[in-house]
Chains A and B, each alone.
Chain A
């Protein structure tokens, strides 16, 4: 399953690469804070730390600091 998922992700990478051609003066909406990939990194830090202590999955959404706070 891992190689297939990675192959699908690589294909999507290739399709995405250079897909949009938006001029700098056309990026007014893209530059808004609500369009950021991660609008609040410190909130994400606190959320990920809470979730990584309560779920087996980790990674991808930013990583929390070490230590488990639950040992």
Chain B
């Protein structure tokens, strides 16, 4: 693990050691997630972006997840508590060529029972005097799944993803975007720790969660940005999600940004609804057992609401802009057909610092 982290970390240190140039940026953020289901996740992030040569930008980031949980997922499987640590490092390159932009990136993440390698390529073309921007992308991720305390357990999951999107000016105050993402998952997608209770005439017993090995996912996203009175903007996004497991989901995001000089406030609301996977049951009976069984609440029918406030404060200093940010998101998840949990509430808190050179 250390050797695999070494290359991206060395790149980040090299980027940091170079003298600062215009548009270089340094970002430091920490996000804390806490919910009523006894789960806390602390996620520190550090990112560097360097204007390395004419039209070329190199970027790198490191993000960790420090997880502590006694959620229903954990306690229903005979454990009282779990703790985990996940690290992710990523490096990317962007090259601008007149009206075109190409990009390439690599991401590696690891935790004690999971390892992931991902690579992505992107191409962007400005059209019609830069009123239209067309983007296409492809990414591939290879995942190795393990199980704590069982060195013989090894499964893999490969994910191919392709996307196409368009951003279009719709007047002097308005811009819209439309995008489609397809991904194909091939491999192990269950949790090696999750067991499903089966109700039988002679009593109940548990079997390991079993999910299909293949999954096709489709996402269509439409976005709209409108500049309003004073210095403010309204953001509206909608996503339709469909997959081959029978899940369909709708997501609506509303955001309102308003600037008061160096201070920008953002108020947002996000509503999400999903219908359960076709094989999900509130309880499984031995008399009518489908080929796939799950006790994953993320595959059940539920809705959620996230309401948040964010404040950005930009402080111009010599040859650089310093920005401080603070964010509070409050959320509610309501589970409609999941037997072990009816709802959870919580908060997502974040603090951040960005330095941009100019």
Q: Which residues of A are at the interface with B, using a C-beta cutoff of 8 A?
A: 1-2, 5-6, 9, 12-13, 16-24, 26-27, 29-30, 32-37, 39, 42-43, 45-47, 49-50, 53-61, 63, 65-71
Contact = CB atoms under 8 A, between A and B. Distances in A.
Contacts of B222: 9, 12
Interface in B295-338: 298-299, 304, 327, 333
Contact of B131 (A22, A37, A65): A22
3 closest cross-chain pairs (CB), A and B: A66-B116, A60-B219, A59-B219
Given A5-B240, A19-B170, A42-B27, 19 more contacts: A13-B178, A22-B169, A26-B172, A29-B172, A30-B175, A34-B233, A34-B264, A35-B175, A36-B225, A37-B223, A47-B348, A49-B63, A50-B31, A59-B161, A60-B220, A61-B221, A63-B139, A66-B118, A69-B111
Interface in B48-85: 61, 63, 65, 67, 69, 73, 84
- On chain B, which size bracket covers the interface? 35 or more
A6 B179 CA distance: 10
Contacts of B298: 53-56
Given A46-B43, A69-B65, A69-B111, A37 B170 contact: no
B45 A58 contact: no
Nearest to B183: A59
A24 B245 CA distance: 46
A45 B114 contact: no
A66 B107 contact: yes
Nearest to B280: A56
Interface in B267-292: 272, 274, 277
A38 B191 CA distance: 32
A67 B143 contact: yes
14 contacts: A1-B242, A17-B166, A18-B127, A20-B174, A30-B172, A34-B232, A37-B225, A42-B45, A42-B61, A46-B29, A46-B63, A58-B183, A59-B161, A65-B109
Interface of B: 27, 29, 31, 33, 41, 43, 45, 47, 61, 63, 65, 67, 69, 73, 84, 86, 88, 90, 107, 109-111, 113-118, 127-132, 139, 141, 143, 145, 159, 161, 163, 166-181, 183, 191-193, 217-223, 225, 227, 231-233, 237, 239-243, 245, 247-249, 251, 257, 259, 264, 272, 274, 277, 298-299, 304, 327, 333, 348, 350, 352
Given A17-B168, A30-B169, A30-B227, A60 B181 contact: yes
A14 to B, nearest CB: 10
B197 to A, nearest CB: 20
A50 B308 CA distance: 15
A10 to B, nearest CB: 9
A32 B264 CA distance: 12
B249 A57 contact: yes
Nearest to B142: A66
Contacts of A60: 179, 181, 219-221, 239, 241
A71 B143 contact: no
A45 B168 contact: no
B143 A66 contact: yes
Given A43-B327, A43-B350, A61-B221, A67 B233 contact: no
B241 A58 contact: yes
A68 B249 contact: no
B344 to A, nearest CB: 9
